[in-house]
Structures are given as structure tokens and as C-alpha cells.
Structure 1
Amino acid sequence: MSRQEKDALVAYVNSFKLSKPVTDFAQLADGKALMERLDTFQECARQRRNLPSLLIRELGTSNEFLVRQHRKRLYRLLLSFPLPAPHPSSLSLSNLSDPPFSTIAKTPTMKEGVQGLLQICRFCLAASVWAPGNEKVIMRIQKLKEEHMAELMKSIEAITATLPAEHQRQDSGTSSLRPSPDLSYSPPPSGLREERDKLLQENDDLRTKCERMMEQVADLTSKLEEAKEEHENALERLSRGETPGAGLRSSQAAGASEVERLRADLLKAEETLAKAEEDLEKQTTSVSELTKQAPTYCRKITEKRKCNRKVPEEARGERQSPKGITQENASLVNTNSSLEADLKKAAAVKSLLDNYKSQIDSLEKQTANQATEITELNHQLEVTQHQLESLQSTYEQNQEELQLSQEKLREIELTGVIPPNGEGLKRSAFGLEAPGDISLGDELGEFSDDGSRETKTDLRLKIKSLQRELSDLQSSAPESHRLIMLETLLADANKSKDRYQADYLKAHKESLRLSAALETIREGRGGDISQTSAALKQRLDEVLEERDALLKERQELEVAKEEAEKALAVAKVDLSLVGKDQRDIIASLREGIEKDASNLEKEVTELKEQIEALREKDRQNLEEIKILLKDKVNLQTVSIDQSEKALEKEKEFGELKASMSASGVSAEAQQRLLGLYERNIKLSAEVKDLQDKLDVLSTSGGTHTFEHSPFEQAQIAYEKQITSLQEEITKLKESKATLKKQYDLEQQLMLTAWHDLGQKMVRGHLHVAMSGAKRSQAKPMPNGWLGRQRRIQENAGYARI
């Protein structure tokens, strides 16, 4: 609901011939411009003829009720408009609710009114773009600005997003601004649709009849009132005795006959109204029978039936006045529109339910696959945990035994005495005997028997053996810490899985964006760019083939990974069956699993490298596309310049011919002069090109001897222009700075001069005051006329000074 989208829709409507141009988006609220726009469709115009003749005339009226009703009819016409095969059958499949017609009529500038009007305009745009014979509409849209085209594309995408999933896939595969095939044969509609169309036709006919009857009733009531007035006037005249009795009787008889005739006409009008109401009731009952097919709306339909049964009983007392008839007609129209909306919703709900069922099945399959993958990953985590624990324990034992054996060897080298229990130490040091085979009693017995010969290393060995026995006893306890570690590993695996899924979604979105950009580039807009479009298509085909090959390789790698995971699961099962005595076999299996894990890590790194390479390729493709688009723009500008030059030449030749013909030159001389003039122009152009090339060679230092393309020449010219402009800007800045300094200096000088002048004036005034005081003290003031004149002249002279 942006300002740009409103401006784009106003520009789109104004691109057609309208009786009155639209200047604001709120002016579309009356629906007159949209209805004039719908005249361009053949099918829509044929359906529009079935509407009442007063529709277009009354769209511009100020009657709120009529405007709302006619806007509803326009909206229903857009929903029932048939579309060709690649697109949905009609816009009634959209899951959008009906716009608030009353708010659009009352306050079209408010938020709800603007949203509803925007929905109607979007439906009108989508119907005009998808309708058969939409080439003219697309040409008009392509003549608009690029910002307006982008906003119109977004509005069409917003409409396609509200359609079912299968239509969204079809519309995403085909461009929304591509001419649809002109299909003379359309698929036959279903029985429900035909019945609905018939009922709508009958409803429109009945509405026209009701309007005619209302007009007749208004005419009859006006005539009846006139007759009553005449009757009253005649009675007054009779009472006053103004006219003779025979004339009064004849006028009374004529008035009575007219009153009877008018009453008969009123009775006929009431009968026709009753028939129209019966037809409307039949129509509502048939619509309710159709809506029974949707079980979710049965209760609403029964309530509406009750309301429809109550309406005729309440309307019997109101038939005496035309206001009651209009209210009854309005209520029937509202109920009919609500029933039609229920029908549309029921038809849309069925397709949506099927789509939801298919989506639920696919999601259940995905969840089952993910559950199996999670179980396999859990199994693989347990196996790797066991491997890590066993490897860590063996590594620690080997390290301790190596340290102890080194210390023992050092002591042997220093003392030269070999203890009697050296065989046991050697066995324990070099791992020929398992650590669990040495018992605590044997070690204590040796310690008690040969306590005098044991050294520090023997004692350390015994302490280590005791610690090992304690660790073995502790490991036989409940493995709570091991479970905690497994849970943490599982959480880490889930986090990595979520991260991989996020990366995959990001890559998928980027690929979709790139495909959309390539689709827009494939279409092209204006100009003769057959060669560039062919090159772009060839390059895009190559990129698509490379992408398909990489996807196949990825699928093969995923299959290999699944096989490896299955092998790991089998190895886990085998390991669970192996006893404690078969640790050598487990060690060999560990080595194999480690190799497989390293291979899988290498494959993962290769896949990451391939993904990075693909991203780089995509970036390079985008850069190439940008370069091609720039070349296209430059070629278009060059062609425009050439055409302008040709026009200028033609103008000059025409002026020369006119001047020569006016001067009386012969035809041969004119031809020779024109040939010389044309040759002179060509030579001057060649000289200019050579001068430009020499300038380029002089600037590049003679290193580049090849000819530049027009794009490069234009770029060089633009760069020169930019440098010259920058130099001018620097000069202007310097001159501005100098002028500013000069102005500041002049201002300072003026202020000082003004200050000095003020001081001089103050001193002069003080001097005059002092001298006047001295004169007043020395001389007495003259009282005569001559003295007073002299004093005035002196004061004036001092003031001038």
C-alpha cells in the first residue's frame, strides 16, 4: 500500500483513453475509470452488456447506495472473468476476502478504503494482463517508467500469492507480462459454474425489471397525486359554486375514471413486483441448494433462509410506499451477494483443502526422513564418543607408562641396579600386559617383601596402578556423566544441523533471486537486441548445464554419505555385540572408522569449496550481465545519436537546396555543391575521429595502439568532462574564497570608517553645545525679531557642520 504503487496504478489507468483523466488515486473509488478500462476486453465487454444500462451513468452519481451496489457488480464481474489455460480459470480462486464497499464509498482516503480500492485495482490489472489478446496492454505497461513497471509487477505478484499452490507454480514458471496465447477454445466449465452464471444472469435481469417497475411506480404515484389534487380542486370549486353543475359532474366523472385507471395500474405493478419477488426467492433457494455442497456453510445457509422467509412477511406492510420497496430490493441484493461470496469461498476452500492435504502428506514424509536421519546421527555420535573415550584412555595410559619407563631407565643408568620386579614393570611399561591384570595384592606383596630395594619410580608405578584400579572401579558406576556428555554432543549436532539448513535456505533464496533476474533479462524491453539476447541465452544455458552437473555430483555424494552412515550404524551394532576381551578388534575397527570420518570431512570440505566456486560463478555471471546491459544502453544511445545526426544532415541539405533554388542555381551545380558539402562533412568527421584517437594516444603515452569501442570512447569523453568540471569547481571555490575575504575586509573597513564618522559627529555636537553655552553666558539673548533670525541661522549652520 505504498505511494509508488498508487502512482503506478494511476499511470496505468491514464495510459488508456478515458473520458476524464485521473489525477489522484482516490478518484478511482467511483469505479467509472475502471469500468471504462474494462471496455478494452472483448469477453469482458460482452459480459458487461448483460449489466443494467444505468450502470455507467449512475457510477458518477452521489447516491452512496447505488455506487456501492454497482461497485459490487464490478467486483463480481472481475471475479467471474474467464482466463486462458496457463493462468487460473478465474480470479475467484483467490483467498482474499471481499473489500469493504461501504467504506470505499464513504471514506476512500482512509486505511480500510484504500486497501479495498487497491484490491479492486489489482484484480483489474491482473485480469487485463492475463486476458487473451493482452499484447496491447503489455505494450502500454512497457511504455511507462521503470519504477511504475516494477510496482505493477509487485502488485501482480501479490495477486498470484493469494492463488492456490499449483497456479502459483504455473505463474512462477511463466512471466506475468508475457502475452498469453489466444485460445479460441476454452475448457468447458463445470455444472456448478454454469448454474451460477445462469443465476447471475437471471439476477441481473430481475434487477433491471425491478428498476423499471420502480420507475413505473414512481410515474403512477405522481399521476395519482396529480389526479387527487385535481379532484380536491374540483370539490372546492363545487362547494364554492364557481362552475355550473354539469361541468363539475363531468370533471368529477373524469377524475374518478382516472383514479380507477391509476388504481388498476398500481395493482398491476404490485402483481409484477410480487412475481419479481417470487423469482428472487426461487433464485435464493437455488443458490442455497448449491451451497449445501459445502458442509461448513450449512448452518449459515439455514440462518439466511430463515431471514429470507421473514423478509417477505415484514415487507408486506411496507409495499404501500416506494421506500419500503427500495429497502426490500437492497436487502435481497445484499443477501444474494453474501450467498455468492459463500459460494466462492466454498469453491476456494475445496481446492485449498486438497492442497493442504498434499502439503501435510509431504511434510509427514519429510518429518519421517528427518527422524531417521536424527537417529542415525545419534548413533554416529555415540560411536564417535566411545571411540574418543577409548582413544583418550589408551593415550593417557601410554603417556604415563612412557614417562615412568623413562624415569626407570634414568635411575638404572645412574645406579646400575636392576630390580627383581623389572619384568612386571617392562610389561606394564610397554603395554604387553593389560593394566587390569596386575592385582593390588601382588603389588602390595612385592612392596612388603622387597621394600628395601624399591626406589621412587617403583613407588610411583604402584601409585599409578592403584589409581588405574580406582578409575576402573569408578567407571563401573552409573554412567551419568557420559549421558550428559552425549546430550551436549546431541545439542551441538542439532545446532550444526540448523546452521546447515539456514545456509541451504539462504543459497536457495539467492538462486531464486538470480533466476528471477535472468528471466527479466531474457524478456528484454525495447530496441533491436537480438544478438545480445542470443548471447545471453547461450551463456545462461551453459550456466544451467554446469549447475545441473554440480547438482548431480552433489546427489552422488549424498548417496555415498548415506551409505557411509549405514556402514557406521552396522559397525555400531557389531561393536555393541563385542565383548571386553576383543579390544584389539575394536582398535582395528576404530582405525577404519577414523579413516572414513577423515574421508567424509574431506568430502564436506570439497563440497564447501564447490559451493564457494558456484557462488563466485554466479557473481561473475551477474557482472557479465551488468556489462552486457551497459553495452546495450550505449548502443541504443549511439543509434539515437546517429539518427539525430542524419536528421540534421537532411535539414541542412534541405536548407541548401532551398537557398540554391531560390538563388537560381542550375541542377548540375546544385548536385555538385551538395556532393562537395557531403564530402566535406565526411572528411570533417574523419578528421575529428583521428584527432580524438591522437588525443587518446598522447594521453596514454603511446602504449595503447588499438581502437577503442564506442562505449570506451564515451567513457573517456565523460571522464574528460568530469575532470574539466572538477577543475572549474575548484576554480570557483578559490574565487569564492577570495571574494569572501575581500568582502570581509571591505566590511571591516566600512565599520571602522562608520565608527570614526560617529565619533566625529559626537565631538562636533559636543563642541557646538559647549560653544552655545559659552555664548549664552557671555551675550544676552536677543529679544528682537532680527536677533532671533540670526540665532536661527547660526543654529542651522552648526547643524550642517
Structure 2
Amino acid sequence: MSDTHDPTASTEAVQQGSPVSTPPLSSPDAEIDAYLAWAQAVLADIPDANKAIRKPSDLSDGVALFHILSDIDPDLFRNPHAGDTKDNWVLTIGTLKRLYKLMMQYYSQSLQAASTALPSPDLNAIARSADAEQLALLCLLAIGIAVRSEKNETHIAAIQTLDQKHQHQLMMSIERVMSFISQGQEEQLVASNPDDSIASSVINGQADDIAAKHQGKSAAQLATELEAMQAQKDHVDKSYLLLLEAHRELQNQFQDLQTEKDELTVTHEEHKKRVEESRNQQADVLMRQKIDKLKIDLRRSEDALAELETDNEKLLQSAEESKRKIEELQKSADEAIKLKDQLEEHRHAADRLQKAENVIEKYKKKLEEGTDIRRQLKTLEDQNAELVDRNAKLEDEYKRVSAFKPLMDSYKSQIADLESKSSNLQRDLATSKYEQEQILSRLKASEDQRASAKEEMELYQERIKELELGGETALTKRKQIVSRNSNVSANGVDGLVAADASRASADDDDELDDDDDTFDRSDELEEALSGTTMTDLKIRLRKLSRELEAAKTNKADQSRLIVLENLLEDAQRMKARYEADYLREHRDKMVLQNQLEAIRSGKSDLGDGTEAAYALRLRLNQLVEELDEAKRRLTELEVHNEQIARELTVAKSDLSLVNKDQVDILHSLRASMDADKDELEAHVKKLKAEVASVSEQNRMYMAQVNALLMEKVDLQAEGIGQRDEALKRERALGELQTRLKGKGLPKEVEEMVASLQNEALSSTRDLKALQERFAKAKTFIKQQDKMIKEKDRSLAAAAAAGGHLGGTARGVDGSGGRGEASNEALEQENRRLLDQARNLEREQRLMMSAFQELGRRYMVELESGRNPSGGGGGGSGVAGSAGTRMGSASFAAGGVRALSGLTGLNGPGRSWLANQRRTVNPTLQLASRR
């Protein structure tokens, strides 16, 4: 068993005596040649040993060195490997590790030398490539054992038989290894003395575990570990020196205060004498005041001295306590390293076991798929037989129907003739309607002309009657008539009304002055020639009234025209919008058709498959288990880390501040930092509670994802069967259409074809629904995977924040400036954690909205399935298209009803989670109940 080593001795060995850090005294090739000659000379005297040692690779397997050392100490170096291990790297590295371990055990037990002072060769480099430098280090250890053993005379005699250069090289190597051994013995003595360093309290029984732990590590890793341990030791030594310096300063202060006290006592005695001498003098009062002041100062100094003595005792006690805690922390650090190594080993074993389980599950899945394929093959053979029988029946019916072909051709020709005649008649009817409209318009114009002529004729008849009766008019009457006529022509209707009024007044005047004036026939003739007669005025009046009515009619037509223009613009706008919607829907339809064709042809790149889904589910369960285990370990380590951090913080804060003012500052800082620490601990607990709630939600989502994956596997199996059946039906329909193209069919055959078409449409809809479900399930799984990764990152950040919290608290207790910086860093870390929590909540809301959309669409599909519609089994093509339109309309109505029913899910009285679960399809609800 080897002795344990302390960090100080290890660091000094690495820095001063280790051959890894010092340059070699000669070239590695010369050393290897000397070692080969020495091995040949020694093995020549050993029976049952391999004498063929000619090149460095013969020494790199460790067998030759094993034989040499077994001859020196057969009890320790027993059972050397008998076979050739050069071609087997695993056996070679195992032999070298065993040889190196036994060498270190011989040095520690027989030669009483510390293993840290000895060189540590890289066994991996020796086993893989027979590295000359590392092999020389291994041979150096072997020759050191040979020259310090009981059979050293034999080996020295063998060395003396070699060449001069080999002897010189071996002597240099022996000097080197002897210096290493002497240095190791000194370190062993230092390590065995408990008063030399603080690290001497490590138990000797831990050396085997540490040696076994460091055996598989390289020199660089050991050097880094030794440097870390040396840094820790230096830190502890510095703190110890600071304590000693503080203790020395306190002693000096105590001595100074003691001398001051003695001086004050002497001065006090002198003042007493002076007071006794000058009591009768006038300055007695002043002297008494000075005496009182000196008494007060003396009392203060005594109090300060007592406080310093108590502080000195406290510091000594805290120094002893810190030493004890440092020793305990060293033990806990060693245990943590051991646990870490065990964790790595268990993790590698778990990975290998997981790979083996995945391979086993894969083979099981392949066997199950083979049985499923055989079952499907049998069902396909049965379906093929049924289709062959149905094909024979259809051929017989086709033969019977072929007799009606001439009759159907004659019917088609008659229908074409009748359609051409109908089109001609429609064209003639349109021309006759146009001619009728033209004749009616001309008739209306002639009637208007006839009415106007009739009115003129009536007016002329009245004028003739007036002329026959012989009325009398005066010059004023003619002027009034002329003015009325001008008003009518100028003002339209208003002038006409004024003219009627003037005419009425003129008639009254005519009745009054009937006896005074006489009518002049010559003047009337002039009025008739000038166009100002009564008849002309009436004609003008009626013409103006017709123009007024026409103007009013045109105004109404203009408003109607504006309304029609607005309606035309609205119609064009609606047309453009409908065209855009139609193009968008047509584009989406083409994309879905391409995806459907890709799925039918088996060229989908979405990565579906039962194996992928099963592997994803297994990986998901593994991640959940690993997450729970990591959380548990993280909680334990955080509790342990908080305890150690709290103790170290108190010790360092007590050691860093020793004087009175510094002690006051220490107490104030500690009080403030305790309050801040309580607040931060409460905040950390709150964050942990949030993380626990998020993990619970994550677990619930994992259960839902597993249920989705199981449903996906079932739906894939059903979708494959339905797709094959739909392809067969489409193929049969295509063959029937090619055979029966251009031929008439009886009613029974048309009904059968229509039913087959309806079945094909239903299977196409089912396939489209399955495709949408698969796409949604994949999207949901991707979102869950993303959320799991984000959760892992958040947990790692929380763990880092916990460690950073302990470091921040220690830094705050140490100094005020570092405390403020650490508080700022802690606030930034808390803000980052809050942002991550908000991002997680946002992602969960988005995920649940997508999940709700999935449930909503599934409810729409269920509603459309409960309200099936179609165009009818038989009949002509027009009836079939009408049925198709009715089917699409009923499907849209069913979707609207499903949406209206879905809006009532989030009713009052139910929680949000319950509402979300009710929006999921019934298959997922059944899986969650299971």
C-alpha cells in the first residue's frame, strides 16, 4: 500500500524533481539503446524469459520489464503475462498499468519514497506508439528498483559487461533516479510529520483510493490537479500568516498600551505629589480638573485594553476553528472527486445499456413488422381474388351492354341536331326581340309627335274661333301680352305664372272697358304675323312644360346612374377579392395535392414511421428520468455547497477584519448582508418553486406526447391500409373508365360506379385528415423537444446561479466594493432567470394554442363526419355535380356548427387546464385516463 501525499510536496515535486517538467539530460534514443542492452544482459541470466529484445517495441508491452522485476521481487511482481500482447492494445495497456502500479507500491513500501517525486510516464503513448521519451521514463523506474534492490550486485555486474557509452548512459540514469528516490524519501518524512503543514491530517488509508483514481490520468491532468491543490494550500498558508501577523500586531499594541499605562501611572503619582505640594496654591482647581481628565483617560485605555484582549482570544479561537474546517473541507473535496469519478463510470455504463436496449427494441420491431407484412399479404391476396371476381362480373355486364351501343349513337346524333336547332331558334328569338324594341321606340316617338300635333291643332281651332267671334283688344292689352310672352320665354314657369296673372287682369279690364275700346283687325293681323297671338303663346307654354318634365326625368336618370356606378364599383371590388381568395385556395389545394401524392408514392421526407416514433418516445422517457435524477443530485449538492459556503464566509470575514473599527464595519456589513441573503434565499426558493411547477407541467405534456405518439402509430397503420385500398379502387375506376369510355351504361352500372366514386372521395378525405393529424403531431413533438431543451438549459442556468450565489455571498462578506459588484451580478442573473421563465410561459401558451387548434380541427372533422352528404348514386352528370355542390355546402355548414360548439368549451366554472384537455380529441383523453 502506498502512502498519501500532501499538496505542498506534490507541487514541489512537480516543479523541482519531476522529469516531466525538467529537460532530459540526453537524447531518448540513446537512453532506449542503453536500456535495450541492459535488458538483454539481465534477461540472459533469467530462465524462461524472452531473450529476443532488439527494438523499443519489445520493451513497450511491459512483459520484459515484468520478467526483470519478478526476478527481483517475485512476491510483488508475480504472474507476469506469458503471451505476446503487441497486437492487442487492450492487453498491453492493462499490463503497463499493472506494472506501473506495482512499481509505485515497491517505491512506497520498500524504499519509503513518495510517489509524487517520481516520474509518471504516459502509458497510453507507450502502448499505442511506443513513444521513446515515455518508455525511457518507465525503464528509469525499473532500473531504479534494480539498483536499490537486494540483487543490485547482479544488475551492476550486468551493466559492467555492456559497452562504454551504454554504461555511461545508464550511470546518468541511475544518478537521476537516485536523486528522485532521495527527494521522495524526504517528502515522505515531511508528510509523516504532523506539525509541518496543515495537509498532514489526511489519513494514510486513503492513498490506495487516490492512487487507483489517478492511475488512469495523464501527467498533465495530475499536474493541473496538483497546481489547484497547491493554490489552495498557498491560500490557507497566506491566511494563516495573516492571522499570525495580526496576532503579533495585537501583542505589540498590548505591550504599547501596557507601557502607556505604566507611564500614565508614573505621571499620576507625580501629579499627586504636585497636588499635595500645591494644594494651598490658587491653581488647585485646575489641577483637580486635570487629574479627573487623566483618570478618565486611564479608564478608557483600560477598557480598550480589555476589549483588545477579548478580540485576541476570539481571533485565536477562530483561527483554530478555521484550521479544523479546512481539514474537513479537504476530506469533503476528496470525497466529491471520488463521487464524480463514479458518476462518470455509471453514466458510461448507462449509455452502453441504452444502446443495447435500442438495438433489442429495433430487432423486436422488425420481427413485428415481418408478421404484419405477412398478414397484410394474406389480406391483399384475398382482396385480389375478390377484385378478380368483380372484374369478371363487370366484363359480363359490359358484354350485355354493348348491344345497346347503336341505339345510344342514334340518340346522341338526335340530341346534337336538336341542340343545334335550339341554338338557331334562340338566336332568331334574340334578333326578333331587338327588332321589337326598336319598333316600340319608334312607335313611342310617333305617338309623342301625334300628341303635339293634336295640341297644335286644338290651339289653332281655338284661334279660329276667336277670330270668328271678333274680340277687341287695346294697345295696352297687346303690350301686356308681349310682356307676358317675354316673361314666359325668359323665366320659364315663373314667367308663365306671371303671364297668366296679367292675362287674367287683362280679361277683367276687357270686360270693364268693353264699351270704350274697339278691336282693330289690322292690328290682330300684325300680331299673328309677329307670333304674339294667344295661340302661339299657348303652344310655347305647352312646349316649355314638356321641356320642364323632360329635364326632371333626366335628373332622376342621372341619380340612378350614380347609384348604378357605385354598385358597379362594389361589384368589381367583390369580384377582385373573390378572385384573390380563389387563387389562394387553389394554390393551397395544389400544395396539399402534391403532399398527398408524395405520401402515396412513399417519398415523404417528414420522417414518419413506427420506429422513429418509438425511438423518440424512448428518448423522451430517458430524458425525463435523467432530468429527475439530475434535479435530485443538484438539490443535494446545493444544500452541501450552501453549508460550506456559509462557514467559509464567516471564517474569512472574521479573519479579514481584526481591529476595532474593522470589527464594527464587519458587524454592520454582516447584519446588512444577512438581510440581503434572506431576501435572496426567498427569491431563490420562489424560483425553485416556479421550476418545480414548470417541471410538473412538462411531465404532464410528456404524458400527452406519449399518448399522441401511440395514436400516431395506430393512425399510420390504419392510413397505410386505407391508402392501399384507395389506390386499388382508383385503379379499378380508371380501368372501368377506359373500358366504358364513349359507351352507354345501364342504370345499375351507373349506380355502382357512382358508389365507387363516393367511396374513393371518402377515402381521399380520410387520407387527407390522417395527413393533417400526422403533421400536427410532428409539429407538437418538435415543440415539446424544443421546450425540453430550453428546460435543460434553464436548469443548468439555475444551477450556475446557485453556485454563483454562494460565491457572491462570500465576496460580499470579504469587502464592500466586491459586495456591490456581486449584488449587481446577482440581480442580472435573477433578471435573466425571470426572462427565461417568461419565455417558457410564452412558449407554453403558444404550444397550448396550437394544441387547441388541433383539437378544434379534429372536432370540425368529426362534425363533418356526422353530417355526410353527396350528390346521389345514379343519374346524369348534371345531377352528380349538383350533389357534389350540396355536399361541399353541408360540409361547410358542419364546420361552422363545430366552431360554434367549440366556442362554448371555455365556459365559467372550469379551469384553464381542464378546458385545454377538453379541446383535445377523444383518443388523447382516453390515453390520459389510462
Give the structure with higher Rg (CA). 2
Q: TM-score w.r.t. structure 1 length?
A: 0.27
With CA pairs under 8 Å and 6+ residues apart, which has the higher RCO, 1 or 2? 2
